[in-house]
Amino acid sequence: MHKLEQEIVAGVSPQAVWKILEQFGSVDQWAPGMHSSSLLGEQASGVGTRRVMRHRWGFRIEEEVTRWADGQGMSFVLTKAPYPMQNVHETWDIEEQNGAARIVTTVTYEMGLGVLGSLLDQLLVRSMVEREIRQGLKALVASIGEDTPPADSDYYPDIPGKRTITHAHSVEP
């Protein structure tokens, strides 16, 4: 099992972050890698809510919420993940930290294809997932305010009141 985790501390309220995240079917409005997204079914929030997304590279992703904590975050499982990724779970947690929002994204996954899958993970998948998480966090924050660098920027200045990435790292259990 692989575990990747990144966080950002943003000069916005946790409520503003949740207001974006709780629109589960509209992730394409702020996530740079998503070409389109929509809800699957009538349920719009809470455990059991499902969505389908089309990535900018063309593959289809389907997700189902497994944990929903109003104003605090959510977890979901990818019921249709890009092959050869398997058992993909993602968590977004929000908390208040010194008047700002601390947002932590965690992705766990396994790779199919045995040794070939392990090699693909080392050479490509892990770095792509890390980049998607990092860009997603930046884009989420950028969608809340006007005073942030572009979501695809790799630099966020450490200026009080501005959005600041405090650390981004991968964790292997």
Backbone angles phi, psi at 2, to 5 degrees: -105, 145
Q: Is 142 helix (H, G, I), strand (E, B) or coil?
A: helix
Give the range among 10-24, 63-77, 102-116, 155-169 with minimum mean pLDDT.
Answer: 155-169
104 CB-contact burial (10 Å; exposed 0-12 / middle 13-18 / buried 19+): middle
Please state the length of the chain. Answer: 173
Ordered by where they begin, the domains of the chain are 2-171 (3.30.530.20)
What predicted TM-score, i.e. pTM, was given to this entire model?
0.84
Read off the pLDDT of residues 18-29 as tens digits, 9 standing for 90 and up. 999 999 999 999
Q: How far apart are CA 120 and CA 129, in angstroms?
A: 12
Using the 8-state DSSP alphabet, how is residue 172 labeled? -
Q: Is 121 helix (H, G, I), strand (E, B) or coil?
A: helix
